[in-house]
Structure 1
Amino acid sequence: MLEENSLPRWHIYPDQEQISTHLAAAITRMAAEAIALRGAFHLVVAGGNTPRATYARLPSMGRDWQRWHIYHGDERCLPPEDPERNSLMLAQTWLSQVPIPGAQIHTIPAEAGASEAARRYAAILPAQRFDLVLLGLGEDGHTASLFPGHDWGQEKSSSPTLSILDAAKAPPQRVSLSAWRLRHTHALFFLACGSGKQDAIASWLRGENIPAAVVGRGADVWLDKAAWPESLPK
């Protein structure tokens, strides 16, 4: 369980291929542990291209798919068939290949617009903690669709979902789980690859108030050598 003021744990691998192998193994191990302890595995997935290789490894490694429940950390307000939709990437890479019941794959209905989709998605989120939340890291330090300079929903009184109408990256309308809801989990993983993430990692290490650092207290951060700031020892 996450500790409010604990430091993140940094796991540095030579390249993205090794990260994806180890991360997929960690996800399936945590699924087995959650199913043994609680009878189900509730996983929040990250979007974007970085976790694609990890998801591609899961069909051959996972077990007990009927006990998996999938949620999205965020989604872009685009049509379901748009190639930029996180849900489409996930279906093509992983979910179409495994027998997770459709009722347990909880896609954000972002095509309804940010405000309506956020309202609907809040109603289906589980009351209990997630078992694992997987997040990415943007070059500006954003995570999910929580961007610098915006309200991240850090208080427990905040809504579990946020409608984003003016995101710093296109498309401007998005839906995101709030910071407190992302942290309402037994375990939290971040994934960051490539030299473009060095500045964000450096800001995190300096304790700056960026979304990833706020959400990621006590998290496990998986990154390749290219993402680690060059000025710091690996």
Structure 2
Amino acid sequence: MSLNPQARWHTFSSQDEINQAALQRILKAADEAIAKYGDFLIVLAGGSTPKAVYQLLAKADADWSKWHVYHNDDRCLPVDHVERNSKMAREAWLDHVAIPPSQIHDIPAELGNVAGAKAYAETLKGVRTFDLVILGLGEDGHTASLFPGQVVDNSADAVPVYNSPKPPADRITISQQRLNNTHEVMFLVTGAGKQEAVDHWRNGVAIPATLIQSPNGVDVYCFGVTLK
């Protein structure tokens, strides 16, 4: 199936509205995947907007035993560092539901970007197409840890990131190619600071976020930006 570069834009009038819409989208994707494949493979984003959605998921009713959780990127910091995406997701959601620990796949970024990426690529080896990838959008247009001006590395399913323009410099990201190997993509974009990146995206400027596509297109959930 050829990739469909079409992005579908959805605007919401409040933070609560976008959070609820994202929650329902995730739960629906889970139900559909479990019915079709017997399990649900979700890739999480970091950031404040996803955190609010994860807090809602912590109170949701779902067949948690069938969920498999991955992260699209993480920072090379100690496991318990406040800026680790895995720590945020566990505290907001994963520690509060009955997903088997063996089905929560944190990126071992504490090993450093090279060793950690190699280990996570092994974790992803043989894993089927993801069901839903959740992504954010940086003010510079980056997503996951795919940054402007950096070479796109698709040499493995998880790759090291050097010289990130945002500290820490060393990170690990799932590669563009592997993120695209998914049935659905949902971007969560909130705040006026993202306006320029959204304008670039909608005007056809090549920003890293536009590298992420799926055969079923991409849905961009927006609050606090204007679609021009």
Tell me if TM exceeds 0.5. Answer: yes
Q: Distance in 1 between matches of 2:221 and 2:187?
A: 6
Corresponding position of 1:137: 137
Corresponding position of 1:76: 75
Structure 1 residue 61: Cα displacement:
2.2
Corresponding position of 2:202: 205
**Compared with structure 1, are the counterparts of its residues 15 and 152 closer, same or farther at alpha carbon in structure 2 (3 Å cutoff)?**
farther
Aligned letter for 1:93?
A
Give unpaired runs (5+ residues) of structure 1: none
Aligned letter for 1:88?
K
Corresponding position of 2:180: 183
Structure 1 residue 54: Cα displacement:
0.6
Q: Distance in 1 between matches of 2:127 and 2:97?
A: 26
Q: Distance in 2 between matches of 1:222 and 1:30?
A: 15
Aligned letter for 2:169?
P
Q: Distance in 2 between matches of 1:38 and 1:129?
A: 11
Q: Distance in 2 between matches of 1:75 and 1:20?
A: 22
SS of 1:133's partner is: strand
Any conservation in 1 of the 2:4–2:213 contact (CA below 8 Å)? no
Any conservation in 2 of the 1:25–1:61 contact (CA below 8 Å)? no
Corresponding position of 1:56: 55
SS of 2:201's partner is: helix
Q: Which moved more, 1:208-217 or 1:100-109?
A: 208-217
SS of 1:51's partner is: helix
Q: Which moved more, 1:130-139 or 1:215-224?
A: 215-224
Q: Distance in 2 between matches of 1:172 and 1:15?
A: 34
Give unpaired runs (5+ residues) of structure 2: none
Q: Distance in 1 between matches of 2:225 and 2:181?
A: 27
Any conservation in 2 of the 1:10–1:222 contact (CA below 8 Å)? yes
Offset from partner CA, 1:75-134 (integer Å, 9 cap, x none): 000001110000110011000100100000000010000000000000011431000000
Query: Where in structure 2 are the equivalents of 1:27-46 lying within 5 Å?
Result: 27-46=26-45
Calculate the TM-score normalised by the size of structure 1.
0.93
Q: Distance in 1 between matches of 2:202 and 2:71?
A: 27
Aligned letter for 2:176?
A
Structure 1 residue 6: Cα displacement:
3.3
Aligned letter for 2:135?
L
SS of 1:227's partner is: coil
Aligned letter for 1:111?
E
Offset from partner CA, 1:166-217 (integer Å, 9 cap, x none): 1010000000011111010010110100000000000101111111012146
Any conservation in 1 of the 2:3–2:213 contact (CA below 8 Å)? no
Aligned letter for 1:101?
P
Q: Which one of the candidate residues 166, 186, 189 is aligned to 1:192?
A: 189
Q: Which moved more, 1:124-133 or 1:72-81?
A: 124-133
Alignment RMSD? 1.3
1:146 aligns with 2:146: yes
Corresponding position of 1:109: 108
Calculate the TM-score normalised by the size of structure 2.
0.95
Structure 1 residue 3: Cα displacement:
5.2
Q: Distance in 2 between matches of 1:20 and 1:106?
A: 24
Q: Distance in 2 between matches of 1:222 and 1:152?
A: 25
SS of 1:99's partner is: coil
Structure 1 residue ranges, 4+ long, deviating more than 6 angstroms after superposition: none
Aligned letter for 2:185?
L
Structure 1 residue 5: Cα displacement:
3.3
Aligned letter for 1:201?
V
